[in-house]
């Protein structure tokens, strides 16, 4: 099915609206480079639209009525938002679900060391990356440091103009003869992705020379102590993430694309949230839900990942408040729900065309991309949406004049990938993957089309209203 470039279809008014959505999205992308920052920002945006903390409502025994809006947060790193509809909750919800973690570099529990005149943070990469892409670019440090007294210190260094930045070094090309003969996966070893953080030792004193031999480390800790009031042992309970520094930028002479860190999957997370919050003044038949999950890039594991019971437990609380405390009603609610698993698709890259099958590839600027299934090696790990649900989705999009395309994640044996779809499908609900097409996926800087971002918001709104 041939789909024209969206820019040929758009009026000047459409282009103005698309620019507005994308400026909003770029601001969110700049403010939220970690899952914690995403949740904090999403809750702030939701509260501005009248959303209330579900836990507080449950404790107060508040009655749940159509139009009520609630949110719940899991450990500061996953969140879910609900807008109550006219129909009983047990008849099902319309769910938009995305993940908010992105590939990055994490620091190890004992990170600080010095070697041959330099101070470093020892690291462990998170998610699937091409390690060589993460060297020799300016990096920032985001995260939190939890202290034994219960205080949690927020850290963000490298984003303001006056901040220092950091770097993972690489070998100069003049001496890289042996390195250049290695396979791409071996060009940079995981243990060599350490972050360069200092080169100036603490000024020596007679007392210091007796007590402290590692003056570079001592100087780094002096600076961190001055900034955050921490000791080195506090790094044991830190979550510090190393991400590309700087803002998302317009890409191209025509400014038709966005270059930025974390499009996978924050471009789908924020477009889902935009669609949800933009409908705060409407009361729909079905209850609406926007789910933002952590840990997708490493298998949906842990207490904040989609494989946890956080979402199910939250739905149980809502069902008990809206109808009655019944596990059967919880199961009915989930089974009767419909979901768009909002996740990015691999955008076709003409320079690497051999990895794609063009008839079933997602193209930038050609609309919201649906993947009936993802997975790899014979659809392994896919939920594979059924034909009836796909037809229902097509009608919704066509009736709303939303431009969309259907695609696969590259050639059959080229690789593959997964989403949170299969975990939600286990409840028996209808699920299909859809989202924005991305080039450079999992690189420090990824590429999306502004037209696709705008069209995705439109498509998500149409789904929520269905």
Give the tens place of pLDDT for each residue, 138-160: 999 999 999 999 999 999 999 99
12-33 pLDDT per residue, tens = 999 999 999 999 999 999 999 9
The backbone torsions φ and ψ at residue 154, rounded to the nearest 5 degrees and listed phi first, read: -85, 140
Percentage of the chain surpassing pLDDT 70?
A: 98
For 51-74, the pLDDT digits (tens) are 999 999 888 888 899 999 999 999
Which of 164-168, 211-215, 457-461 is predicted least confidently? 211-215
pLDDT number for residue 414: 76
The distance in angstroms from the start CA to the end CA of the chain is 25
Tokens of 39: 């949740």
Q: How far is residue 353's CA from residue 358's CA, in Å, rounded to a whole number? A: 8
pLDDT of residue 63: 84
Q: DSSP state, 230?
A: -
CA angle 9, 14, 19 (to 5 degrees): 120
Q: Output the CA–CA distances (angstroms, integers) from residue 320 to 81, 88, 94, 289, in the order listed.
A: 17, 12, 19, 17
Segment 436-448, tens digit of pLDDT: 999 999 999 999 9
Bridge-based pairing of strands 430-435 and 338-342 is parallel
pLDDT-derived band at 223 (thresholds 50, 70, 90) equals: very high
pLDDT at 36: 97
CB 368 within 8 A of CB 451: no
Instruction: Judge: domain 6-102+261-465, CATH 3.40.630.10.
Output: yes
Give per-residue pLDDT as tens, 400-435: 999 999 998 888 877 777 788 899 999 999 999 999
Q: What are phi and psi of 46, to 5 degrees?
A: -70, -40
DSSP string of 322-336, one letter each residue: HT-S-HHHHHHHHHT
Strand partners, 200: none
Q: Give, in words, the CATH class of 104-244.
A: mainly beta
Angle between helix axes 450-465 and 387-399 (nearest 10 degrees) is 110
Tokens of 134: 């993460």
pTM above 0.85, yes or no: yes
3-state DSSP call for residue 109? strand
pLDDT of residue 213: 72
- The answer on pLDDT for 207 being more than 80 is no
Residue 2: predicted pLDDT: 65
Domain with CATH 2.30.250.10 in the chain: 104-244
| Bridge partner list, 416 | 376
Q: Write down the residue that tokens 């820019």 correspond to.
A: 7
Numbered ranges of CATH 3.40.630.10 in the chain: 6-102+261-465
pLDDT at 311: 96
pLDDT averaged over the chain? 94
* C-alpha–C-alpha distance, residues 57 and 283, integer Å: 20
């Amino acid at each position: 099915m041939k789909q024209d470039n969206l820019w040929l279809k758009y009026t000047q008014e459409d282009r103005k609206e698309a620019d507005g959505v994308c400026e909003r999205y770029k601001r969110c992308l700049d403010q939220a480079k970690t899952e914690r920052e995403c949740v904090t920002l999403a809750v702030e945006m939701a509260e501005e639209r009248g959303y209330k903390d579900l836990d507080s409502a449950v404790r107060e025994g508040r009655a749940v009525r159509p139009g009520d809006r609630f949110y719940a947060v899991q450990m500061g790193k996953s969140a879910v938002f609900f807008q109550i509809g006219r129909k009983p909750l047990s008849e099902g919800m319309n769910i938009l679900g995305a993940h908010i973690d992105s590939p990055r570099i994490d620091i190890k529990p004992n990170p600080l060391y010095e070697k041959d005149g330099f101070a470093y943070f020892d690291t462990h990469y998170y998610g699937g990356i091409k390690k060589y892409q993460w060297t020799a670019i300016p990096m920032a440090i985001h995260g939190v440091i939890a202290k034994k007294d219960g205080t949690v210190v927020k850290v963000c260094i490298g984003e303001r103009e006056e901040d220092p930045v950091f770097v993972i070094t690489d070998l100069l090309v003049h001496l890289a003869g042996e390195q250049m003969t290695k396979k791409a996966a071996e060009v940079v070893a995981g243990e060599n992705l350490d972050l360069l953080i200092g080169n100036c030792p603490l000024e020596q004193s007679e007392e210091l020379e007796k007590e402290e031999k590692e003056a570079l480390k001592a100087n780094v800790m002096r600076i961190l102590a001055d900034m955050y009031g921490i000791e080195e042992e506090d790094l044991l309970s830190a979550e510090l993430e190393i991400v590309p520094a700087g803002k998302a930028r317009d890409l191209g002479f025509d400014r038709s694309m966005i270059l930025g860190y974390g499009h996978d999957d924050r471009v789908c997370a924020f477009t889902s949230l935009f669609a949800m919050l933009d409908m705060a003044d409407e009361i729909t038949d079905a209850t609406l839900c926007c789910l933002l999950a952590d840990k997708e890039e490493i298998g949906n594991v842990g207490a904040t990942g989609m494989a946890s019971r956080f979402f199910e437990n939250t739905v149980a609380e809502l069902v008990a408040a809206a109808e009655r405390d019944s596990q059967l009603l919880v199961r009915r609610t989930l089974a009767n729900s419909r979901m768009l698993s909002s996740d990015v698709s691999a955008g076709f890259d003409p320079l690497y065309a051999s990895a794609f099958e063009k008839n079933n590839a997602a193209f930038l600027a050609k609309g919201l991309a649906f993947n009936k299934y993802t997975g790899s090696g014979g659809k392994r790990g896919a939920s594979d949406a059924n034909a009836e649900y796909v037809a229902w989705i097509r009608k919704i999009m066509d009736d709303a004049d939303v431009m969309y395309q259907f695609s696969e994640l590259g050639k059959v044996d080229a690789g593959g990938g997964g989403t949170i779809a299969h975990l939600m499908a286990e409840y028996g609900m209808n699920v299909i993957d859809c989202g924005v097409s991305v080039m450079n996926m999992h690189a420090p800087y990824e590429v999306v089309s502004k037209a696709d971002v705008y069209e995705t918001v439109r498509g998500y709104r149409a789904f929520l209203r269905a």
